[in-house]
């Protein structure tokens, strides 16, 4: 989710001061020698499109008055969009088809809710029995920042901070997977909506597998699906995994081959405590606006606490796209803007909403495989909360399968980039094996150490140009850090050849 930008602005500034840009540029020819066969064909110049209509102006997003007449997952209306989607901050990707649909789902208080999802057909050879749900980390209560709009070239909102999510989504298409990405926090932007996220993802998959969607996209009726989600995306995907068995049994075991959850943010209360006044300060302003849309009692609490005088500050800081929210909220303490200050934490309403709706691990015991990956230095959500979540998942069901990997040297935003390649490989294994891939028996945890965009697995995943671009935008070390990484490794690390050829794993 969260303040990729702000957290990274700090790192970036430090890095830029310390680094001579020319030095990095000077290193690039060497990397070319190392990697002679990179395929840069994915990256194309952004089309100078006419801007698409924003959701708040687009009748496609209007909830029909008879939404409750539809079955959950049933498609209300649909359309084909141009095949161009974003694939990064300045690049686009040509998909096979881009199919968008409104479908019925539920909100966090179990009322019917219309939602929108985008089902994307790969451009080349596709495997129509593989469907990936990609939950974008869009962190916004603004209805004009939803993924179904943000993915379209010409829309102002990024598709996840810096459109990193778009980069990763296009890699999934390149692997021949169909991809569905839903506006899982709701049409009104109920960030971070709680149970609605799980319902919305599960119903988006029901919609994708319906005959109406299949007749346009060629997806097979018996397709299996997997999930990828980072940060708030991991929360939504985690809830979908938790609730699949109770809410959508046909989409559970046997259909859902696995869920890759990265940069996990499982504890809403902790998020408030950890981010107020810090790098992720902005997301809490967004959360007050978004949770007020999801829960009437939270809305009343917010109105009483912020009052008409303070509300505009919340809108200014938090009602924008994720990048702007992060920039405007960095260092701000949301409790300074509330009547009771930090004592809000003890209000019954705040407590019930954050410890129930905004808590992962309490909505059901997943019986489908999980791959959890996390930067040990995650500044948005402490590693300890994830350790508890993994323990909960492992203890909840004897048939649970959790592979938990900690990247000992990564923070929140860098692990989003560095962890995805291994997560995708795990997903590919799950698709290939029908849900019983390597490392999916019981619970396992391992530590890895990767902190450079120039590792071979990273470069082949993103392509050299995109990897260099991201290293530069986010301040993630490129070739320079690679040397440091090798140096750290000498003492106790050894090369792991089992799961990540280019990662280093602790032996003991
Ligand atoms: C909902 O209303 C529209 C417009 O009247 C109608 O075309 C549609 O069939 C209705 N849907 C259901 C499921 O009743
Ligand atoms: C799915 O792909 C297979 C193999 O390419 C093809 O035979 C089949 O017709 C496709 N299914 C649909 C629904 O298009
Ligand atoms: C969530 O975090 C809060 C504050 O740190 C803590 O009191 C609570 O026990 C945590 N909940 C769970 C389920 O771990
Ligand atoms: C606030 O509303 C939510 C959702 O309806 C509910 O779960 C929670 O218990 C409520 N809190 C209080 C204190 O009533
Ligand atoms: C564990 O998962 C199995 C397989 O889906 C299921 O039958 C069982 O009810 C689950 N047990 C619990 C305690 O959730």
Query: To test ligand 3's pocket by mutation, which of 266, 268, 355 has the most ligand atoms within 8 angstroms of CB?
Result: 355
| Within a domain: 293 | yes
Q: Are residues 384 and 279 in the same domain?
A: no
112 Cβ below 6 A of ligand 1: no
Inside any domain, residue 379: yes
Q: Which residues contact 366 (CB under 8 A, 6 or more apart)?
A: 238, 241, 242, 244, 245, 259, 393, 396, 397, 400
> pLDDT tens digits, the chain, 508 residues: what are they?
444 544 444 444 333 333 333 233 333 333 333 333 333 333 333 344 568 999 999 999 999 999 999 999 999 999 999 999 999 999 999 999 999 999 999 999 999 999 999 999 999 899 999 999 999 999 999 999 999 999 999 999 999 999 999 999 999 999 999 999 999 999 999 999 899 999 999 999 999 999 999 999 999 999 999 999 999 999 999 999 999 999 999 999 999 999 999 999 999 999 999 999 998 999 999 999 999 999 999 999 999 999 999 999 999 999 999 999 999 999 999 999 999 999 999 999 999 998 888 899 999 999 899 999 999 999 999 999 999 999 999 988 777 899 999 999 899 998 999 999 999 999 999 999 988 766 567 899 999 988 888 888 889 999 988 988 888 887 776 654 433 333 222 222 232 222 232 333 222 1
Domain-terminating residue out of 308, 329, 356: 356
DSSP 8-state assignment for residue 337: G
Ligand closest in space to the Cα of 352: 4
Rounded Cα distance between 150 and 288, Å, is: 22
DSSP 185-237: TTTTT-SS-THHHHHHHHHHHHHHTSHHHHHHH---TT-EEEEEEETHHHHHH
How far apart are alpha carbons 249 and 333 in whole angstroms?
42
* 226/255 Cα distance (integer angstroms): 8
Q: Quick one: how far is CA 417 from the chain centroid? A: 11
Q: CB of 365 closer than 6 A to ligand 5?
A: yes
Q: Are residues 19 and 93 in the same domain?
A: yes
Q: Residue 285 has what pLDDT?
A: 98
Residues 299 and 258 grouped into a single domain: no
Between strands 178-182 and 130-135, the pairing is: parallel
Centre of ligand 2 from the C-alpha of residue 221, in Å: 10
Strands (E), 330-476: 370-375, 402-407, 443-449
Q: Among residues 356, 390, 413, which one ends one of the domains? A: 356
Mutate which of 245, 368, 398 for ligand 5? The one with the most ligand atoms within 8 Å of its CB, which is 245
Q: What total number of domains does the chain contain?
A: 2
Residues 6+ apart with CB under 8 A from 466: 42, 43, 88, 91, 167
Q: Is 476 domain-assigned?
A: no
Residue nearest to atom 6 of ligand 5 (CA): 367
Ligand 2 atom at minimum distance from 129 CA: 1
Going by DSSP bridges, is the β-strand pair 256-262/370-375 parallel, antiparallel, or unpaired? parallel
Integer angstrom CA distances of residue 404 from 68, 257, 393, 442, 466: 40, 16, 11, 11, 27
Distance 384 CA to ligand 3 centre (A): 10
Distance CA 457, CA 464 (A): 11
H or E element in which residue 36 lies? none
Model pLDDT, residue 22? 29
140 and 106 both lie in a single domain: yes
What 3-state class would DSSP assign to 11? helix
Q: Which atom of ligand 4 lies closest to the CA of 108? A: 4
Q: Domain of 375: which CATH number?
A: 3.40.50.1820
Q: Could you tell me if residue 36 is left (phi over 0), alpha (psi between -120 and 50 degrees) or otherwise beta?
A: alpha
Q: With a 6 A CB cut-off, is 461 part of the ligand 4 pocket?
A: no
- Same domain? For 16 and 134 the reply is yes
**Distance (Å, rounded) from C-alpha 44 to C-alpha 58?**
28
Look at the pTM and tell me if it is higher than 0.95: no
- Does 349 reside within a domain? yes
Instruction: Tell me, in angstroms, the distance from the centre of ligand 5 to residue 397's CA.
Output: 6
Answer yes or no: do 196 and 303 share one domain: no
Residue 279 lies in a domain: yes
- The dihedrals phi and psi of 178, each to the nearest 5 degrees, come to -70, 145
Q: Are residues 206 and 221 in the same domain?
A: yes
Q: Is 269 in the pocket of ligand 3 (CB under 6 A)?
A: yes
Q: Supply the residue whose CA is at minimum distance from atom 9 of ligand 4.
A: 352
Ligand 4 mean position to 296 CA, how many Å?
A: 8
Q: Judge if the beta carbon of residue 350 lies within 6 A of ligand 4.
A: no
Asked whether the beta carbons of 150 and 157 are under 8 A apart, the reply is: yes
Residues in Cβ contact with 11 at an 8 Å cutoff, skipping those fewer than 6 apart: 411, 474, 475, 476
Q: Are residue 251 and residue 304 in the same domain, yes or no? A: no
Instruction: Report the nearest-CA residue for atom 10 of ligand 1.
Output: 66
- Which tokens in the block code for residue 144? 């004009």
Please choose from 254, 363, 365 the residue to mutate so as to test ligand 5's pocket, defined by most ligand atoms within 8 A of CB.
365
Q: Which ligand has the shortest distance to the CA of 66?
A: 1
Instruction: Tell me how far apart the alpha carbons of residues 312 and 294 are, in angstroms, rounded to a whole number.
Output: 19
Distance, CA of 416 to CA of 418 (rounded, Å): 6
- Among candidate residues 304, 325, 356, the one where a domain is terminated: 356
Per the structure, the complete domain to which residue 13 belongs is given by 5-267+359-459
Q: Is 203 in the pocket of ligand 5 (CB under 6 A)?
A: no
Check whether residue 284 and residue 198 sit in a common domain: no
Q: Tell whether 364 and 440 lie within a shared domain.
A: yes
Strand-pair category, 91-94 with 84-86: antiparallel
Same domain, 35 and 136: yes
Whether residue 291 sits in one domain with residue 245 = no
- 493 inside domain: no
Residue 489 located in a structural domain: no
Q: Which ligand is nearest to the CA of 381?
A: 3
Q: Which protein residue has the closest C-alpha to ligand 4 atom 8?
A: 352
- Report pLDDT for 438: 63
Establish whether residue 267 lines the binding site of ligand 3, counting it when its CB lies within 6 angstroms of any ligand atom. Answer: yes
pLDDT at 13: 37
pLDDT for 51: 84
In a domain, 136, yes or no: yes
Nearest atom (ligand 4) to Cα of 348: 13
Evaluate: CB of 127 within 6 angstroms of ligand 2.
Answer: no
Residue with tokens 């294994």: 429
Q: Judge if the beta carbon of residue 386 lies within 6 A of ligand 3.
A: no
- Domain CATH for 322: 1.10.260.130
Q: What share of the chain is helix, strand, coil (3-state, %, to 5)?
A: 45, 15, 35
Ramachandran bin of 227, using left for φ above 0, alpha for ψ from -120 to 50, beta for the remaining angles: beta
């Amino acid at each position: 989710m969260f303040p990729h930008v702000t957290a990274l602005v700090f790192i970036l500034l430090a890095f830029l001061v310390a680094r001579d840009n020319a030095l990095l540029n000077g290193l690039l020819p060497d990397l070319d020698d190392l990697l002679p066969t990179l395929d840069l064909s994915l990256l194309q110049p952004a089309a100078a499109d006419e801007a698409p209509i924003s959701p708040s102006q687009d009748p496609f997003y209007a909830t029909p008055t008879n939404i409750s007449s539809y079955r959950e997952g049933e498609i209300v209306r649909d359309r084909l969009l141009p095949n161009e989607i974003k694939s990064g901050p300045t690049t686009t990707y040509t998909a096979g088809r881009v199919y968008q649909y409104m479908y019925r789902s539920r909100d966090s208080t179990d009322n019917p809710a219309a939602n929108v999802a985008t089902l994307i057909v790969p451009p080349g050879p596709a495997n129509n029995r593989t469907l990936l749900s990609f939950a974008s980390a869009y962190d916004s209560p603004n209805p004009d920042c939803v993924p179904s709009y943000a993915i379209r070239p010409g829309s102002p909102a990024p598709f996840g901070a810096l459109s990193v999510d778009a980069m990763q989504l296009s890699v999934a298409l390149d692997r021949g997977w169909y991809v569905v990405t839903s506006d899982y926090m709701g049409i009104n932007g109920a960030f971070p909506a709680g149970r609605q996220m799980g319902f919305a993802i599960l119903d988006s998959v029901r919609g994708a597998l319906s005959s109406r969607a299949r007749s346009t996209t060629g997806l097979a009726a018996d397709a299996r699906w997997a999930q990828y989600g980072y940060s708030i995306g991991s929360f939504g995907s985690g809830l979908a995994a938790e609730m699949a068995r109770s809410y959508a049994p046909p989409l559970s075991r046997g259909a859902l081959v696995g869920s890759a959850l990265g940069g996990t943010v499982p504890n809403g209360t902790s998020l408030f405590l950890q981010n107020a006044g810090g790098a992720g300060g902005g997301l809490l302003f967004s959360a007050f606006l978004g949770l007020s849309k999801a829960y009437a009692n939270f809305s009343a609490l917010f109105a009483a606490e912020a009052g008409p005088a303070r509300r505009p500050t919340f809108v200014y800081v938090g009602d924008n796209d994720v990048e702007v929210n992060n920039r405007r909220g960095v260092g701000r303490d949301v409790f300074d803007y509330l009547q009771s200050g930090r004592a809000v934490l003890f209000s019954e309403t705040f407590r019930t909403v954050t410890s129930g709706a905004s808590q992962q691990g309490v909505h059901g015991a997943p019986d489908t495989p999980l791959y959890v990956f996390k930067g040990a230095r995650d500044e948005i959500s402490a590693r300890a909360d994830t350790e508890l979540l993994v323990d909960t998942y492992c203890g909840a069901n004897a048939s649970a399968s959790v592979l938990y990997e900690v990247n000992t040297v990564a923070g929140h935003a860098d692990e989003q980039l560095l962890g995805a390649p291994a997560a995708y490989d795990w997903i590919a294994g799950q698709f290939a094996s029908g849900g019983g891939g390597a490392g999916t028996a019981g619970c396992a945890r391992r530590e890895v150490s990767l902190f450079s965009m120039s590792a071979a697995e990273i470069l082949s995943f993103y392509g050299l140009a995109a990897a260099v671009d991201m290293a530069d935008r986010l301040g993630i070390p490129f070739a320079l850090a690679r040397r440091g990484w090798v140096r750290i490794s000498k003492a106790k690390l050894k090369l792991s050849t089992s799961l990540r050829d280019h990662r280093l794993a602790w032996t003991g």
